[in-house]
Structure 1
Amino acid sequence: MRKYTAIKIISFFFIIQILPLQIFAQFFDHPSKILDSANLIITYKMSWKQDTNNLEYIRQENMILLVGKKISMFMSYNFYKFNLIGRKAEREGQLDEFLHGTERGNFKTRFTYKIYKNYPAGRITYADKVMPAFLQYDENLNTFKWQLTNLIDTIGDYVAHCAYTDYGGRHWIAWYATDIPLNDGPYKFRGLPGLIIKLYDDQKHYVFDMVSMERSDKAMLIEYMDMGWVQTTRPEFLKAQKNFRLDIINRAKEAGVDNEGQQRAVRSMTKRNNPIEF
Protein backbone atom coordinates (compact mmCIF):
# COMPACT_ATOMS: atom_id res chain seq x y z
CA MET A 1 0.00 0.00 0.00
CA ARG A 2 1.22 3.48 -0.84
CA LYS A 3 2.19 5.52 2.23
CA TYR A 4 0.76 8.97 2.93
CA THR A 5 2.60 11.32 5.26
CA ALA A 6 0.92 14.10 7.21
CA ILE A 7 2.57 16.63 4.90
CA LYS A 8 1.13 14.95 1.81
CA ILE A 9 -2.27 14.71 3.45
CA ILE A 10 -2.27 18.42 4.20
CA SER A 11 -1.39 19.31 0.63
CA PHE A 12 -3.87 16.84 -0.85
CA PHE A 13 -6.95 17.66 1.18
CA PHE A 14 -6.93 20.69 3.38
CA ILE A 15 -4.87 22.94 1.19
CA ILE A 16 -5.08 22.47 -2.55
CA GLN A 17 -7.80 19.76 -2.57
CA ILE A 18 -6.64 18.33 -5.84
CA LEU A 19 -7.07 14.81 -4.51
CA PRO A 20 -9.64 15.35 -1.76
CA LEU A 21 -10.14 11.71 -0.77
CA GLN A 22 -6.62 10.37 -0.53
CA ILE A 23 -6.32 11.73 2.96
CA PHE A 24 -8.42 8.82 4.13
CA ALA A 25 -5.99 6.12 3.06
CA GLN A 26 -4.53 6.13 6.54
CA PHE A 27 -7.92 5.27 8.03
CA PHE A 28 -7.52 1.73 6.79
CA ASP A 29 -4.25 1.27 8.67
CA HIS A 30 -6.00 1.36 12.03
CA PRO A 31 -8.16 -1.21 13.82
CA SER A 32 -11.82 -0.58 14.53
CA LYS A 33 -14.12 -1.48 17.38
CA ILE A 34 -17.76 -2.38 16.81
CA LEU A 35 -19.86 -0.34 19.24
CA ASP A 36 -23.33 -1.29 18.05
CA SER A 37 -25.30 -2.22 14.96
CA ALA A 38 -28.08 -0.22 13.34
CA ASN A 39 -31.17 -1.33 11.47
CA LEU A 40 -32.60 2.17 11.26
CA ILE A 41 -30.96 4.59 8.84
CA ILE A 42 -32.11 8.21 8.69
CA THR A 43 -30.85 10.51 5.95
CA TYR A 44 -30.78 14.29 6.28
CA LYS A 45 -30.04 16.80 3.56
CA MET A 46 -27.77 19.42 5.05
CA SER A 47 -27.76 22.84 3.37
CA TRP A 48 -25.24 25.39 4.56
CA LYS A 49 -23.76 28.77 3.73
CA GLN A 50 -20.04 28.46 4.16
CA ASP A 51 -19.17 32.07 3.28
CA THR A 52 -20.72 34.97 5.18
CA ASN A 53 -19.59 37.26 2.36
CA ASN A 54 -21.63 35.30 -0.18
CA LEU A 55 -24.81 34.14 1.52
CA GLU A 56 -26.52 33.43 -1.81
CA TYR A 57 -24.21 30.46 -2.33
CA ILE A 58 -25.64 27.35 -0.67
CA ARG A 59 -23.88 24.01 -0.51
CA GLN A 60 -25.64 20.71 0.14
CA GLU A 61 -24.60 17.26 1.28
CA ASN A 62 -26.43 14.21 2.59
CA MET A 63 -25.71 13.11 6.14
CA ILE A 64 -26.81 9.90 7.82
CA LEU A 65 -27.88 8.96 11.32
CA LEU A 66 -27.40 5.28 12.13
CA VAL A 67 -29.51 4.33 15.14
CA GLY A 68 -28.49 1.33 17.22
CA LYS A 69 -29.93 -0.08 20.42
CA LYS A 70 -27.52 1.84 22.64
CA ILE A 71 -25.53 4.15 20.38
CA SER A 72 -26.22 6.29 17.34
CA MET A 73 -23.70 7.71 14.88
CA PHE A 74 -24.03 10.79 12.67
CA MET A 75 -21.70 11.48 9.76
CA SER A 76 -21.43 12.33 6.08
CA TYR A 77 -23.11 9.76 3.85
CA ASN A 78 -20.26 9.97 1.34
CA PHE A 79 -17.68 9.49 4.07
CA TYR A 80 -19.58 6.45 5.33
CA LYS A 81 -19.74 4.90 1.86
CA PHE A 82 -16.09 5.71 1.23
CA ASN A 83 -15.12 3.84 4.38
CA LEU A 84 -17.25 0.82 3.48
CA ILE A 85 -15.92 0.51 -0.05
CA GLY A 86 -12.37 1.37 0.95
CA ARG A 87 -12.26 -1.33 3.60
CA LYS A 88 -13.67 -3.85 1.15
CA ALA A 89 -10.97 -2.84 -1.34
CA GLU A 90 -8.34 -3.24 1.36
CA ARG A 91 -9.53 -6.76 2.19
CA GLU A 92 -9.31 -7.63 -1.49
CA GLY A 93 -5.85 -6.08 -1.85
CA GLN A 94 -7.15 -3.31 -4.12
CA LEU A 95 -7.04 -0.25 -1.86
CA ASP A 96 -4.37 1.54 -3.87
CA GLU A 97 -6.36 1.04 -7.08
CA PHE A 98 -9.51 2.35 -5.41
CA LEU A 99 -7.81 5.47 -4.04
CA HIS A 100 -6.29 6.34 -7.40
CA GLY A 101 -9.22 5.30 -9.57
CA THR A 102 -12.23 7.24 -10.77
CA GLU A 103 -14.72 5.66 -8.34
CA ARG A 104 -13.37 7.60 -5.37
CA GLY A 105 -14.64 10.81 -6.97
CA ASN A 106 -18.17 9.70 -6.12
CA PHE A 107 -17.51 10.17 -2.41
CA LYS A 108 -16.32 13.74 -2.04
CA THR A 109 -17.18 15.35 1.27
CA ARG A 110 -16.38 18.44 3.28
CA PHE A 111 -17.06 16.63 6.55
CA THR A 112 -14.97 13.92 8.17
CA TYR A 113 -16.36 14.13 11.67
CA LYS A 114 -18.27 11.39 13.44
CA ILE A 115 -20.68 12.06 16.28
CA TYR A 116 -21.52 9.22 18.64
CA LYS A 117 -24.42 9.50 21.07
CA ASN A 118 -23.86 6.88 23.77
CA TYR A 119 -27.13 6.64 25.66
CA PRO A 120 -26.08 4.24 28.45
CA ALA A 121 -23.00 6.37 29.17
CA GLY A 122 -24.91 9.66 28.85
CA ARG A 123 -22.23 11.01 26.55
CA ILE A 124 -21.82 12.62 23.13
CA THR A 125 -18.43 12.01 21.52
CA TYR A 126 -17.27 14.20 18.65
CA ALA A 127 -14.26 12.94 16.67
CA ASP A 128 -12.52 14.61 13.74
CA LYS A 129 -9.16 15.38 12.21
CA VAL A 130 -7.57 18.78 12.71
CA MET A 131 -4.20 18.42 11.06
CA PRO A 132 -1.87 17.10 12.14
CA ALA A 133 -3.83 15.46 14.98
CA PHE A 134 -6.88 13.27 15.39
CA LEU A 135 -8.95 14.95 18.10
CA GLN A 136 -12.03 13.96 20.05
CA TYR A 137 -14.00 15.42 22.93
CA ASP A 138 -17.01 14.47 25.02
CA GLU A 139 -20.11 16.38 26.04
CA ASN A 140 -23.00 15.55 28.31
CA LEU A 141 -25.88 13.91 26.48
CA ASN A 142 -28.24 16.39 28.15
CA THR A 143 -26.37 19.43 26.83
CA PHE A 144 -29.43 20.86 25.10
CA LYS A 145 -31.93 22.90 27.12
CA TRP A 146 -35.03 22.97 24.98
CA GLN A 147 -37.90 25.42 25.11
CA LEU A 148 -41.02 23.62 23.89
CA THR A 149 -43.70 25.64 22.10
CA ASN A 150 -47.30 25.17 21.00
CA LEU A 151 -46.38 25.66 17.34
CA ILE A 152 -47.45 22.79 15.08
CA ASP A 153 -46.87 22.28 11.37
CA THR A 154 -47.03 19.49 8.81
CA ILE A 155 -43.67 18.48 7.38
CA GLY A 156 -43.91 15.77 4.77
CA ASP A 157 -46.11 13.04 6.20
CA TYR A 158 -45.61 14.07 9.81
CA VAL A 159 -47.24 16.41 12.27
CA ALA A 160 -44.30 18.34 13.68
CA HIS A 161 -43.93 20.29 16.92
CA CYS A 162 -41.52 23.18 17.39
CA ALA A 163 -38.83 23.75 20.03
CA TYR A 164 -35.93 26.18 20.51
CA THR A 165 -32.47 25.92 21.97
CA ASP A 166 -29.17 27.80 21.96
CA TYR A 167 -25.97 25.97 21.16
CA GLY A 168 -22.59 26.68 19.63
CA GLY A 169 -23.20 30.40 19.28
CA ARG A 170 -26.44 29.92 17.35
CA HIS A 171 -30.17 29.95 18.13
CA TRP A 172 -31.70 26.74 16.79
CA ILE A 173 -35.26 25.88 15.78
CA ALA A 174 -36.19 22.20 15.74
CA TRP A 175 -39.28 20.47 14.42
CA TYR A 176 -39.85 17.02 15.85
CA ALA A 177 -42.38 14.28 15.20
CA THR A 178 -43.93 12.58 18.22
CA ASP A 179 -45.17 9.90 15.83
CA ILE A 180 -41.54 8.79 15.66
CA PRO A 181 -40.71 8.11 19.34
CA LEU A 182 -36.97 8.39 18.88
CA ASN A 183 -34.91 10.71 21.06
CA ASP A 184 -32.37 11.71 18.43
CA GLY A 185 -31.72 14.01 15.52
CA PRO A 186 -29.12 15.49 13.17
CA TYR A 187 -25.64 16.54 14.25
CA LYS A 188 -25.40 16.50 18.07
CA PHE A 189 -29.03 17.40 18.63
CA ARG A 190 -31.42 15.23 20.66
CA GLY A 191 -33.52 15.48 23.81
CA LEU A 192 -37.01 16.01 22.39
CA PRO A 193 -40.09 13.74 22.67
CA GLY A 194 -39.74 12.60 19.07
CA LEU A 195 -37.28 12.46 16.20
CA ILE A 196 -36.04 15.83 14.94
CA ILE A 197 -37.08 15.90 11.28
CA LYS A 198 -36.10 19.50 10.54
CA LEU A 199 -33.51 21.72 12.21
CA TYR A 200 -32.08 25.12 11.37
CA ASP A 201 -30.47 28.12 13.01
CA ASP A 202 -32.38 31.40 13.05
CA GLN A 203 -30.32 32.78 10.15
CA LYS A 204 -30.71 29.54 8.18
CA HIS A 205 -26.99 29.26 7.65
CA TYR A 206 -27.31 25.56 8.53
CA VAL A 207 -30.44 23.59 7.69
CA PHE A 208 -31.07 19.87 8.17
CA ASP A 209 -34.08 18.26 6.45
CA MET A 210 -34.92 14.60 6.92
CA VAL A 211 -35.32 13.08 3.46
CA SER A 212 -35.69 9.39 4.29
CA MET A 213 -35.99 6.91 7.11
CA GLU A 214 -35.65 3.24 6.41
CA ARG A 215 -35.16 -0.01 8.20
CA SER A 216 -32.62 -2.40 6.80
CA ASP A 217 -32.78 -6.18 7.04
CA LYS A 218 -29.00 -6.15 7.17
CA ALA A 219 -27.53 -4.43 10.19
CA MET A 220 -25.09 -1.59 9.50
CA LEU A 221 -22.17 -1.52 11.89
CA ILE A 222 -21.52 1.45 14.12
CA GLU A 223 -17.73 1.38 14.37
CA TYR A 224 -15.15 3.38 16.24
CA MET A 225 -11.84 3.67 14.43
CA ASP A 226 -8.80 3.60 16.69
CA MET A 227 -6.91 6.51 15.14
CA GLY A 228 -4.84 7.29 18.20
CA TRP A 229 -7.30 9.98 19.17
CA VAL A 230 -6.11 12.82 21.37
CA GLN A 231 -8.70 13.57 24.03
CA THR A 232 -9.43 17.28 24.31
CA THR A 233 -12.25 19.64 25.22
CA ARG A 234 -14.76 21.34 22.97
CA PRO A 235 -13.22 24.83 23.49
CA GLU A 236 -9.75 23.51 22.71
CA PHE A 237 -11.03 21.68 19.64
CA LEU A 238 -12.70 24.82 18.27
CA LYS A 239 -9.52 26.75 18.99
CA ALA A 240 -7.47 24.19 17.03
CA GLN A 241 -9.85 24.47 14.07
CA LYS A 242 -9.63 28.25 14.11
CA ASN A 243 -5.84 28.20 14.35
CA PHE A 244 -5.65 25.88 11.36
CA ARG A 245 -7.72 28.25 9.24
CA LEU A 246 -5.68 31.25 10.32
CA ASP A 247 -2.38 29.46 9.77
CA ILE A 248 -3.14 28.01 6.36
CA ILE A 249 -0.21 29.76 4.64
CA ASN A 250 2.34 28.28 7.02
CA ARG A 251 0.71 24.86 6.75
CA ALA A 252 0.95 25.13 2.97
CA LYS A 253 4.61 26.13 3.14
CA GLU A 254 5.37 23.20 5.44
CA ALA A 255 3.72 20.93 2.89
CA GLY A 256 5.97 22.22 0.12
CA VAL A 257 3.13 23.83 -1.81
CA ASP A 258 4.25 26.46 -4.34
CA ASN A 259 3.19 30.11 -4.14
CA GLU A 260 0.27 29.65 -6.51
CA GLY A 261 -0.99 26.70 -4.47
CA GLN A 262 -0.63 28.70 -1.27
CA GLN A 263 -2.79 31.46 -2.68
CA ARG A 264 -5.43 28.97 -3.80
CA ALA A 265 -5.42 27.54 -0.30
CA VAL A 266 -5.92 30.99 1.20
CA ARG A 267 -8.78 31.79 -1.19
CA SER A 268 -10.46 28.48 -0.45
CA MET A 269 -10.11 28.82 3.31
CA THR A 270 -11.24 32.45 3.25
CA LYS A 271 -14.54 31.33 1.77
CA ARG A 272 -15.05 28.85 4.60
CA ASN A 273 -15.57 31.36 7.36
CA ASN A 274 -18.91 30.21 8.76
CA PRO A 275 -18.48 27.07 10.91
CA ILE A 276 -21.53 25.46 12.46
CA GLU A 277 -20.15 26.18 15.94
CA PHE A 278 -18.22 29.20 17.17
Structure 2
Amino acid sequence: MKKIGIFVLSLFIHTFFAQTNRFVYQVTMKPDASDKNDIKTENAYLDISPEKSMFYSENRIKRDSVIQSAMQSGGARGFNREQMEGLRSNINYSIEKDKKNQKTTFKDRIGRDVYTYEEDRPLNWKILSETRKIGEYKVQKAETDFGGRKWTAWFTTDLPYQDGPYKFGGLPGLIVKIEDDKGEYSFDLMKNYKIAAFPTMNQFGNTIKVKRTDYVKQQKKFMEDPMSFMTQGGGGGPQPPMRIGGNSNLGDMRKRMEERIKEEAKRNSNPIELQ
Protein backbone atom coordinates (compact mmCIF):
# COMPACT_ATOMS: atom_id res chain seq x y z
CA MET A 1 0.00 0.00 0.00
CA LYS A 2 2.86 2.33 0.82
CA LYS A 3 4.41 1.74 -2.63
CA ILE A 4 1.04 2.40 -4.29
CA GLY A 5 0.69 5.63 -2.34
CA ILE A 6 4.14 6.82 -3.41
CA PHE A 7 3.36 5.92 -7.04
CA VAL A 8 0.07 7.84 -6.98
CA LEU A 9 1.78 10.85 -5.37
CA SER A 10 4.60 10.86 -7.93
CA LEU A 11 2.07 10.54 -10.75
CA PHE A 12 0.11 13.49 -9.36
CA ILE A 13 3.28 15.60 -9.07
CA HIS A 14 4.33 14.70 -12.63
CA THR A 15 0.86 15.53 -13.99
CA PHE A 16 0.74 18.83 -12.09
CA PHE A 17 4.10 20.06 -13.33
CA ALA A 18 3.52 18.75 -16.86
CA GLN A 19 0.52 21.01 -17.24
CA THR A 20 0.62 23.91 -19.63
CA ASN A 21 0.01 27.45 -18.40
CA ARG A 22 -2.32 29.58 -20.52
CA PHE A 23 -2.04 33.37 -20.44
CA VAL A 24 -4.90 35.28 -22.04
CA TYR A 25 -3.99 38.62 -23.61
CA GLN A 26 -6.32 41.29 -24.88
CA VAL A 27 -4.93 42.48 -28.20
CA THR A 28 -5.92 45.97 -29.33
CA MET A 29 -5.14 46.92 -32.93
CA LYS A 30 -5.61 49.69 -35.48
CA PRO A 31 -5.05 47.57 -38.61
CA ASP A 32 -6.54 49.98 -41.18
CA ALA A 33 -3.99 52.67 -42.08
CA SER A 34 -6.72 54.85 -43.61
CA ASP A 35 -8.95 54.79 -40.52
CA LYS A 36 -7.16 54.99 -37.18
CA ASN A 37 -10.55 55.27 -35.43
CA ASP A 38 -11.28 51.69 -36.45
CA ILE A 39 -10.05 49.82 -33.37
CA LYS A 40 -10.15 46.02 -33.25
CA THR A 41 -9.96 44.07 -30.01
CA GLU A 42 -9.75 40.32 -29.52
CA ASN A 43 -8.22 37.77 -27.20
CA ALA A 44 -5.15 35.68 -27.88
CA TYR A 45 -3.58 32.80 -25.97
CA LEU A 46 0.02 32.36 -24.91
CA ASP A 47 0.37 28.72 -23.84
CA ILE A 48 3.64 27.95 -22.05
CA SER A 49 5.24 24.64 -21.09
CA PRO A 50 8.85 23.95 -20.02
CA GLU A 51 9.72 22.98 -23.62
CA LYS A 52 7.91 25.56 -25.74
CA SER A 53 5.25 28.25 -25.98
CA MET A 54 2.59 29.04 -28.58
CA PHE A 55 0.80 32.32 -29.32
CA TYR A 56 -2.40 32.34 -31.39
CA SER A 57 -5.90 33.78 -31.59
CA GLU A 58 -8.67 32.53 -29.33
CA ASN A 59 -10.93 32.62 -32.39
CA ARG A 60 -8.51 30.27 -34.19
CA ILE A 61 -9.41 27.41 -31.85
CA LYS A 62 -13.12 28.23 -32.04
CA ARG A 63 -12.96 28.46 -35.84
CA ASP A 64 -11.06 25.16 -36.10
CA SER A 65 -13.79 23.54 -34.03
CA VAL A 66 -16.52 24.86 -36.36
CA ILE A 67 -14.59 23.67 -39.44
CA GLN A 68 -14.02 20.23 -37.93
CA SER A 69 -17.69 19.91 -37.08
CA ALA A 70 -18.70 21.01 -40.58
CA MET A 71 -16.36 18.50 -42.23
CA GLN A 72 -17.90 15.72 -40.16
CA SER A 73 -21.45 16.72 -41.09
CA GLY A 74 -21.36 17.21 -44.82
CA GLY A 75 -18.31 19.23 -45.85
CA ALA A 76 -18.94 22.70 -47.28
CA ARG A 77 -22.71 22.34 -46.87
CA GLY A 78 -22.20 21.97 -43.13
CA PHE A 79 -20.56 25.40 -42.73
CA ASN A 80 -22.42 27.88 -40.57
CA ARG A 81 -21.37 31.02 -42.43
CA GLU A 82 -22.76 33.44 -39.82
CA GLN A 83 -20.85 31.65 -37.08
CA MET A 84 -17.65 31.67 -39.14
CA GLU A 85 -18.10 35.38 -39.88
CA GLY A 86 -18.40 36.04 -36.15
CA LEU A 87 -15.07 34.29 -35.60
CA ARG A 88 -13.09 36.41 -38.06
CA SER A 89 -9.72 37.38 -36.64
CA ASN A 90 -6.98 39.90 -37.32
CA ILE A 91 -4.56 37.41 -35.76
CA ASN A 92 -4.35 34.79 -38.49
CA TYR A 93 -0.82 33.74 -37.63
CA SER A 94 0.59 31.52 -34.89
CA ILE A 95 4.00 31.72 -33.24
CA GLU A 96 5.93 28.94 -31.55
CA LYS A 97 9.00 29.48 -29.38
CA ASP A 98 11.34 26.54 -28.82
CA LYS A 99 12.83 27.04 -25.35
CA LYS A 100 15.75 24.63 -25.78
CA ASN A 101 16.97 25.87 -29.15
CA GLN A 102 15.91 29.50 -28.63
CA LYS A 103 14.08 29.54 -31.96
CA THR A 104 10.93 31.46 -32.84
CA THR A 105 8.82 30.06 -35.68
CA PHE A 106 6.10 32.10 -37.39
CA LYS A 107 3.24 30.49 -39.36
CA ASP A 108 0.64 32.21 -41.51
CA ARG A 109 -1.74 31.14 -44.25
CA ILE A 110 -1.38 32.62 -47.72
CA GLY A 111 -4.13 31.38 -50.01
CA ARG A 112 -4.51 27.64 -49.50
CA ASP A 113 -1.08 26.96 -47.99
CA VAL A 114 0.71 27.70 -44.74
CA TYR A 115 4.00 29.57 -44.95
CA THR A 116 6.41 29.22 -42.06
CA TYR A 117 9.73 30.88 -41.28
CA GLU A 118 12.22 31.12 -38.46
CA GLU A 119 12.55 34.64 -37.06
CA ASP A 120 16.04 35.93 -37.85
CA ARG A 121 16.05 39.23 -35.96
CA PRO A 122 17.12 39.27 -32.28
CA LEU A 123 15.28 41.36 -29.71
CA ASN A 124 17.63 43.87 -28.10
CA TRP A 125 16.04 45.09 -24.88
CA LYS A 126 16.89 48.16 -22.83
CA ILE A 127 15.78 47.45 -19.26
CA LEU A 128 14.93 50.59 -17.29
CA SER A 129 14.72 51.14 -13.54
CA GLU A 130 11.10 52.35 -13.59
CA THR A 131 8.60 50.08 -11.84
CA ARG A 132 4.86 50.15 -11.18
CA LYS A 133 1.99 47.82 -10.48
CA ILE A 134 -0.34 46.39 -13.12
CA GLY A 135 -3.15 44.42 -11.55
CA GLU A 136 -1.61 42.10 -8.97
CA TYR A 137 1.86 42.16 -10.50
CA LYS A 138 4.84 44.39 -9.77
CA VAL A 139 6.30 45.20 -13.20
CA GLN A 140 9.42 46.81 -14.60
CA LYS A 141 9.83 48.80 -17.79
CA ALA A 142 11.81 47.76 -20.87
CA GLU A 143 12.09 49.09 -24.42
CA THR A 144 13.02 47.68 -27.81
CA ASP A 145 12.81 48.44 -31.53
CA PHE A 146 11.31 45.66 -33.63
CA GLY A 147 9.60 45.39 -36.99
CA GLY A 148 9.77 49.12 -37.64
CA ARG A 149 8.08 50.06 -34.35
CA LYS A 150 9.32 51.24 -30.95
CA TRP A 151 7.90 49.07 -28.17
CA THR A 152 7.52 49.63 -24.43
CA ALA A 153 7.07 46.52 -22.31
CA TRP A 154 6.25 45.93 -18.67
CA PHE A 155 7.44 42.58 -17.32
CA THR A 156 7.11 40.82 -13.98
CA THR A 157 9.42 38.46 -12.13
CA ASP A 158 6.44 37.32 -10.04
CA LEU A 159 5.86 34.65 -12.70
CA PRO A 160 8.69 32.23 -13.65
CA TYR A 161 8.54 32.72 -17.42
CA GLN A 162 10.84 34.70 -19.72
CA ASP A 163 8.22 35.00 -22.42
CA GLY A 164 5.53 37.25 -23.82
CA PRO A 165 2.89 37.68 -26.52
CA TYR A 166 3.65 37.68 -30.24
CA LYS A 167 7.40 37.29 -30.91
CA PHE A 168 8.34 39.13 -27.72
CA GLY A 169 10.33 37.45 -24.95
CA GLY A 170 13.81 37.22 -23.50
CA LEU A 171 13.24 39.56 -20.56
CA PRO A 172 13.89 38.39 -16.95
CA GLY A 173 10.15 37.73 -16.51
CA LEU A 174 6.79 37.47 -18.23
CA ILE A 175 5.58 40.46 -20.26
CA VAL A 176 2.33 41.72 -18.69
CA LYS A 177 1.85 44.62 -21.10
CA ILE A 178 3.53 45.79 -24.30
CA GLU A 179 2.55 48.54 -26.75
CA ASP A 180 4.10 50.51 -29.59
CA ASP A 181 4.77 54.22 -29.27
CA LYS A 182 2.03 55.14 -31.78
CA GLY A 183 -0.64 53.37 -29.75
CA GLU A 184 -1.58 51.20 -32.72
CA TYR A 185 -0.86 47.79 -31.18
CA SER A 186 -0.99 46.67 -27.57
CA PHE A 187 -1.06 43.38 -25.67
CA ASP A 188 -2.45 43.31 -22.12
CA LEU A 189 -2.44 40.26 -19.85
CA MET A 190 -5.98 39.62 -18.60
CA LYS A 191 -5.83 36.28 -16.78
CA ASN A 192 -4.08 32.92 -16.63
CA TYR A 193 -4.95 29.33 -15.80
CA LYS A 194 -3.67 25.82 -16.35
CA ILE A 195 -4.67 23.55 -19.23
CA ALA A 196 -3.92 19.85 -19.64
CA ALA A 197 -2.00 20.21 -22.91
CA PHE A 198 -1.48 22.31 -26.01
CA PRO A 199 -4.54 22.23 -28.29
CA THR A 200 -4.36 20.45 -31.63
CA MET A 201 -4.25 22.98 -34.47
CA ASN A 202 -6.11 21.96 -37.62
CA GLN A 203 -3.72 22.11 -40.54
CA PHE A 204 -5.07 22.53 -44.07
CA GLY A 205 -3.05 22.69 -47.25
CA ASN A 206 0.70 22.35 -47.69
CA THR A 207 3.24 23.73 -45.25
CA ILE A 208 5.91 25.70 -47.09
CA LYS A 209 9.09 26.59 -45.19
CA VAL A 210 10.70 29.81 -46.41
CA LYS A 211 12.98 32.60 -45.26
CA ARG A 212 11.29 35.60 -43.68
CA THR A 213 12.09 37.84 -46.64
CA ASP A 214 10.53 35.30 -49.02
CA TYR A 215 7.38 35.19 -46.89
CA VAL A 216 7.07 38.99 -47.20
CA LYS A 217 7.42 38.71 -50.99
CA GLN A 218 4.78 35.96 -51.20
CA GLN A 219 2.39 37.99 -49.07
CA LYS A 220 2.78 40.95 -51.44
CA LYS A 221 2.19 38.71 -54.46
CA PHE A 222 -0.97 37.35 -52.87
CA MET A 223 -2.39 40.83 -52.45
CA GLU A 224 -1.67 41.59 -56.13
CA ASP A 225 -2.98 38.31 -57.59
CA PRO A 226 -4.91 36.26 -55.00
CA MET A 227 -6.51 33.90 -57.50
CA SER A 228 -3.14 32.48 -58.54
CA PHE A 229 -2.63 31.29 -54.96
CA MET A 230 -6.12 29.77 -54.79
CA THR A 231 -5.85 27.80 -58.04
CA GLN A 232 -2.20 26.71 -58.26
CA GLY A 233 -0.50 24.01 -56.19
CA GLY A 234 -2.46 24.51 -53.02
CA GLY A 235 -3.27 21.09 -51.75
CA GLY A 236 -6.68 22.13 -50.45
CA GLY A 237 -7.64 24.33 -47.54
CA PRO A 238 -10.36 24.99 -44.97
CA GLN A 239 -12.36 27.01 -47.45
CA PRO A 240 -15.48 25.47 -48.94
CA PRO A 241 -15.35 25.04 -52.73
CA MET A 242 -15.09 28.42 -54.46
CA ARG A 243 -18.61 28.64 -55.76
CA ILE A 244 -20.66 31.82 -55.57
CA GLY A 245 -24.15 30.92 -56.57
CA GLY A 246 -25.12 28.17 -58.96
CA ASN A 247 -24.63 30.17 -62.18
CA SER A 248 -21.33 31.85 -61.38
CA ASN A 249 -18.57 31.40 -63.91
CA LEU A 250 -14.83 31.57 -63.41
CA GLY A 251 -14.74 35.28 -64.29
CA ASP A 252 -17.32 36.07 -61.60
CA MET A 253 -15.43 33.99 -59.06
CA ARG A 254 -12.15 35.73 -59.83
CA LYS A 255 -13.74 39.18 -59.61
CA ARG A 256 -15.45 38.50 -56.29
CA MET A 257 -12.37 36.84 -54.84
CA GLU A 258 -10.16 39.77 -55.82
CA GLU A 259 -12.66 42.26 -54.39
CA ARG A 260 -12.73 40.37 -51.11
CA ILE A 261 -8.93 40.16 -50.92
CA LYS A 262 -8.55 43.87 -51.72
CA GLU A 263 -11.04 44.73 -49.00
CA GLU A 264 -9.12 42.55 -46.53
CA ALA A 265 -5.87 44.18 -47.64
CA LYS A 266 -7.35 47.61 -46.91
CA ARG A 267 -8.55 46.44 -43.50
CA ASN A 268 -5.01 45.17 -42.78
CA SER A 269 -2.96 47.96 -44.36
CA ASN A 270 -1.29 48.83 -41.04
CA PRO A 271 0.42 45.55 -40.04
CA ILE A 272 2.13 44.96 -36.72
CA GLU A 273 5.47 44.76 -38.55
CA LEU A 274 6.16 47.70 -40.84
CA GLN A 275 9.50 46.35 -42.04
- The two structures share one fold, judged by TM-score above 0.5: yes
Task: List runs of 5+ in structure 1 lacking aligned partners.
Answer: 1-36
Matched, 1:185 2:164: yes
Secondary structure of the 2:163 match is: coil
Larger Rg: 2
Correspondent of 2:136 among 132, 146, 157: 157
Within 1, Cα distance between the matches of 2:260 and 2:119?
36
Within 2, Cα distance between the matches of 1:251 and 1:203?
34
**Which residue in 1 is equivalent to 2:239?**
none
Within 2, Cα distance between the matches of 1:132 and 1:165?
34
For 1:243, the aligned partner's letter is: K
**Which residue in 2 is equivalent to 1:230?**
208
Within 1, Cα distance between the matches of 2:63 and 2:170?
30
Aligned residues: 239
Matched, 1:269 2:265: yes
Secondary structure of the 1:200 match is: strand
- For the aligned residues, what is the CA RMSD? 3.0
**Which residue in 2 is equivalent to 1:19?**
none
Structure in which a larger fraction of residues adopt strand: 1
1:213-272, Cα deviation, whole Å (9 max, x unpaired): 1123x3343658485311111111122222322445987997743757754643442242
Within 1, Cα distance between the matches of 2:31 and 2:66?
29
Alpha carbons of structure 1 residues 65 and 166: separation in structure 2 relative to 1, 3 Å: same
Matched, 1:168 2:147: yes
Within 2, Cα distance between the matches of 1:155 and 1:164?
17
Alpha carbons of structure 1 residues 113 and 235: separation in structure 2 relative to 1, 3 Å: same
**Which residue in 2 is equivalent to 1:60?**
41
Give the structure, 1 or 2, with the largest relative contact order (CA under 8 Å, sep 6 or more): 1
Task: List runs of 5+ in structure 2 lacking aligned partners.
Answer: 1-17, 231-248
**Which residue in 2 is equivalent to 1:108?**
88
TM, length-normalised to structure 1 = 0.74
Structure 1 residue 67: deviation in Å? 1.0
Sequence identity, in percent? 28
Matched, 1:72 2:53: yes
After TM superposition, the structure 1 = structure 2 runs for residues 1-278 of structure 1, keeping only pairs within 5 Å, are 39-84=20-65, 86-87=67-68, 98-100=78-80, 103-139=83-119, 143-216=122-195, 218-221=196-199, 225=203, 227-247=205-225, 256-257=252-253, 262-263=258-259, 265-277=261-273, 278=275
